[in-house]
């Protein structure tokens, strides 16, 4: 990193930190509009049941109830709440299998009706008055049981409850030949578990239509432009008739790569033509929103005596739960990270997505990668044990190096994985600890390691177009306008640092405008650890352009060439003679309030980064080494 950086690399407050510590920051759950109704949902108490009849007549008569909606009142359009089929390109896409309100409950928590009323207490009372007659159907909770003939069918189209058979598109070599060349072959099956995302702010949304039918929606999202498009398609609206605003967001962790409660909330607002707020209770959030997919994953590895890996194969059963959601996207990511870590001439992976009557899955931190790492690293350890080889040496022999190809087919730009393993091993005392006695009375000692890689940006499968505006103000400050949002990592503060650094301004001179589809250019969303890298590069590009325009303008004023100038701490100065200077504020005022027609286009600049190669491949490697002491009975 350059030594003379003045803003980047400094400890600066998180964006909007003062609002957060004083309680002034507004999250979606804090919003209130005049005349706003409160929405509540009625969920199925049965894991699997057909709705025979819903009687809402008594509930509708309750004073204060504005509307009650069931599956008959919502668009008869099938959809998938995941945004991945809009921002990812992969052959199978994500299957669509959901309705806004369901006619058949497929898990405890499936939404069958919704109420909008003047307040929460009235809405809750109305829920109690809705009478639903269910035909309870046999339910199934284990994906392996669900695939057996005769298991209850959850979606009519999916025979044996298998929604999709998936093969990893970037396979190569001949795995069977690879296994025949191996001296040691290990095959094992592991089961990973579901995990709820559990963001602290309960899933919530505020939706409001204006008199011309334009919808404004305030809701947490990691992908609010794709969300807007999906909402537009679902409710038969042009995208331009929807404005999506991301308020402060109380955690996402992958959850808001899907719709939360937006479709139901919008349906209520559309019916009542009044603003509606729908906020889940923690219990509704736990049962009704995204969990990590559970996998039953079988891996096979072939290794020669000298430790060379000859073949890798994976077969996964993806436990989707009641609906498909992110099943193919997470499985694809998981397969890529199972096959991609080690150099191997023969790789293949396939899997089946399976329905059961458990709550829906979705995006959740790591997005299939922890599961891939778990399976792969168990296999490597087992192979090392069979070979009688140090598991660390086995890994070092096979990790990919600079210039080799990642599983996505792009060359690796770093080779830190090898270094990471070596440094980690030294720091933890790998050799010494392995040489120690492993047993002492009732105690057992052990040491283990695992390694994996992660990407920064999901190319070539994901759209990574990043767009930024910079607008200068008369006081020399700048608005940084981005379609990317803040989901808790201080990405917006980082963005301000980058802009300030390039423009020669101070951190506090950058005013961020973010999280609004009306004021910013399109952005794919916050995903795949690529936000800072992608948007950051767009900021560098646009800020460099703005700086060039400022320097050109100043060069005419000071009768020097632009190359002779630079900007630092809000001042444009002649490098050879820093006393000769003007402030950025002076030049901005001059450029904006200019009656002589000399107005330069420094007020607005945009940039469009498309498929920039450096976004991919892996920028990060991690290594986990752990010395474990366990007492055995």
- Which residues lie near other proteins (CB under 8 A)? 11, 13-14, 16-18, 20-27, 29-30, 32, 198-202, 248-253, 281-282, 487-490
End-to-end CA distance of the chain: 52
Give dist(CA 149, CA 152) in Å, integer.
9
> Nearest-CA neighbor of 246 among 536, 41, 525, 606?
525
Residue closer to other proteins (CB basis): 436 or 626 = 626
Radius of gyration of the chain (CA): 28
Which helix or strand (DSSP H or E) is residue 581 part of? strand 577-583
**Residue 486, phi then psi, degrees to nearest 5:** -95, 125
* Rounded least distance, CB 38 to other proteins, Å: 10
Residue closer to other proteins (CB basis): 94 or 201 = 201
Residue closer to other proteins (CB basis): 370 or 488 = 488
* Rounded least distance, CB 439 to other proteins, Å: 33
* Rounded least distance, CB 484 to other proteins, Å: 16
Residue closer to other proteins (CB basis): 451 or 490 = 490
Residue closer to other proteins (CB basis): 198 or 583 = 198
Residue closer to other proteins (CB basis): 288 or 340 = 288
Tell me the DSSP string of 452-495: EEE-SS-TTTB---EEEEEEE-TTS-EEEEES---SSS-HHHHH
Which residue bears the tokens 């506090």? 508
Tell me the DSSP string of 58-104: HHHHSTTEEEEEEGGGS----B-SBSHHHHB--SS-----B-SS-SE
Q: Do you know the residue count of the chain?
A: 633
Q: Going by C-beta distance under 8 Å and a sequence separation of 6 or more, which residues neighbour residue 30?
A: 247
CB 537 within 8 A of CB 506: no
Tell me the DSSP string of 341-366: SB--S-EEEEEEEEE-SSPPB---TT
Residue closer to other proteins (CB basis): 11 or 437 = 11
In this structure, the number of other CB atoms found within 10 A of the CB of residue 4 comes to: 5
Residue closer to other proteins (CB basis): 29 or 535 = 29
* Rounded least distance, CB 295 to other proteins, Å: 23
Residue closer to other proteins (CB basis): 252 or 258 = 252
* Eight-state DSSP code of residue 252: -
CB 520 within 8 A of CB 479: no
* Rounded least distance, CB 446 to other proteins, Å: 26
In this structure, the number of other CB atoms found within 10 A of the CB of residue 326 comes to: 33
* Rounded least distance, CB 119 to other proteins, Å: 8
Residue closer to other proteins (CB basis): 71 or 286 = 286
* Rounded least distance, CB 200 to other proteins, Å: 4
* Rounded least distance, CB 251 to other proteins, Å: 5
* Rounded least distance, CB 20 to other proteins, Å: 4
* Rounded least distance, CB 121 to other proteins, Å: 8
* Rounded least distance, CB 508 to other proteins, Å: 13
Q: What per-residue string of b and e applies to 428-443 under the rule 16 or more CB within 10 Å gives b? A: bebeeeeeeeeeeeee
Residue closer to other proteins (CB basis): 70 or 204 = 204
């Amino acid at each position: 990193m350059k030594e003379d950086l003045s803003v980047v690399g400094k400890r600066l407050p998180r964006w909007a930190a003062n609002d957060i510590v004083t309680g002034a920051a507004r999250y979606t759950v804090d919003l209130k509009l005049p005349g706003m109704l409160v929405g509540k949902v009625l969920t199925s108490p049965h894991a699997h049941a057909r709705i025979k009849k819903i009687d809402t007549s008594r509930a509708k008569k309750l004073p204060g109830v504005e509307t009650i909606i069931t599956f008959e009142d919502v668009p008869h359009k099938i959809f998938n709440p995941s945004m991945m089929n809009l921002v990812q390109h992969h052959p199978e896409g994500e299957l669509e299998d959901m309705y806004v309100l369901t006619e058949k409950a497929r898990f405890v928590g499936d939404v069958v009706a919704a109420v909008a009323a003047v307040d929460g207490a009235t809405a809750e009372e109305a829920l109690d008055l809705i009478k639903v007659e269910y035909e309870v159907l046999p339910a199934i909770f284990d994906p392996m049981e669900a695939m057996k003939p005769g298991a209850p069918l959850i979606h009519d189209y999916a025979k044996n409850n298998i929604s999709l058979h998936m093969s990893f598109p970037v396979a190569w070599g001949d795995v069977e030949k690879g296994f025949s060349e191996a001296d040691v072959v290990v095959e094992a099956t592991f089961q990973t578990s579901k995990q709820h995302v559990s963001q602290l702010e309960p899933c919530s949304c505020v939706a409001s239509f204006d008199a011309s039918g334009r919808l404004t929606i305030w809701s947490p999202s990691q992908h609010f432009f794709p969300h807007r498009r999906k909402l537009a398609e679902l409710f038969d609206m042009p995208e331009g008739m929807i404005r999506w605003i991301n308020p402060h967001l109380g955690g996402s962790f992958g959850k808001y790569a899907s719709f939360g409660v937006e479709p139901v909330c919008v349906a209520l607002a559309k019916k009542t033509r009044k603003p509606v707020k729908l906020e889940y209770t923690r219990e509704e959030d736990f049962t009704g929103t995204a969990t990590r997919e559970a996998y039953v994953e079988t891996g096979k590895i072939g290794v020669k005596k000298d430790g060379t890996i000859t073949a890798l194969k994976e077969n996964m059963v993806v436990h989707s739960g009641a609906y498909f959601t992110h099943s193919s996207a997470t499985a694809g990511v998981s397969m890529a990270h199972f096959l991609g870590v080690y150099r191997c001439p023969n790789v293949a992976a396939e899997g089946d997505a399976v329905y059961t009557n458990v709550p829906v899955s979705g995006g959740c931190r790591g997005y299939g990668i922890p599961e891939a790492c778990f399976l792969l690293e168990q296999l490597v350890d087992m192979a090392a044990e069979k070979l009688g080889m140090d598991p660390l040496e086995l890994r070092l022999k096979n990790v990919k190096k600079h210039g080799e190809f990642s599983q996505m087919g792009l060359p690796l730009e770093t080779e830190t994985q090898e270094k990471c393993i070596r440094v980690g091993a030294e720091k933890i005392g790998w050799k010494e600890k392995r040489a120690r006695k492993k047993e002492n009375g009732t105690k057992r000692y052990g040491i283990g390691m695992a390694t994996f890689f992660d990407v920064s940006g999901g190319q070539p499968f994901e759209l990574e177009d990043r767009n930024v505006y910079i607008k200068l103000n008369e006081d020399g400050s700048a608005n940084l306008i981005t379609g990317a949002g803040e989901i808790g990592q201080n990405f917006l503060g980082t963005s301000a640092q980058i802009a300030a650094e390039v423009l020669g301004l101070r951190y506090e001179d950058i005013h961020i405008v973010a999280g609004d589809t009306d004021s910013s250019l399109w952005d794919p969303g916050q995903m795949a650890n690529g936000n800072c890298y992608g948007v950051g590069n767009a900021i560098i590009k646009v800020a460099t352009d703005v700086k060039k325009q400022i320097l050109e303008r100043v060069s005419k004023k000071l009768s020097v060439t632009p190359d002779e100038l630079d900007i630092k701490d809000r001042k444009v100065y002649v490098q050879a003679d820093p006393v000769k200077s003007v402030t950025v504020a002076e030049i901005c005022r001059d450029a904006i309030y200019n009656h002589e027609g000399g107005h330069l286009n420094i007020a607005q600049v945009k940039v469009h980064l498309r498929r920039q190669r450096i976004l991919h491949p892996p920028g990060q490697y991690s290594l986990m080494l752990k010395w474990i002491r366990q007492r055995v009975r």
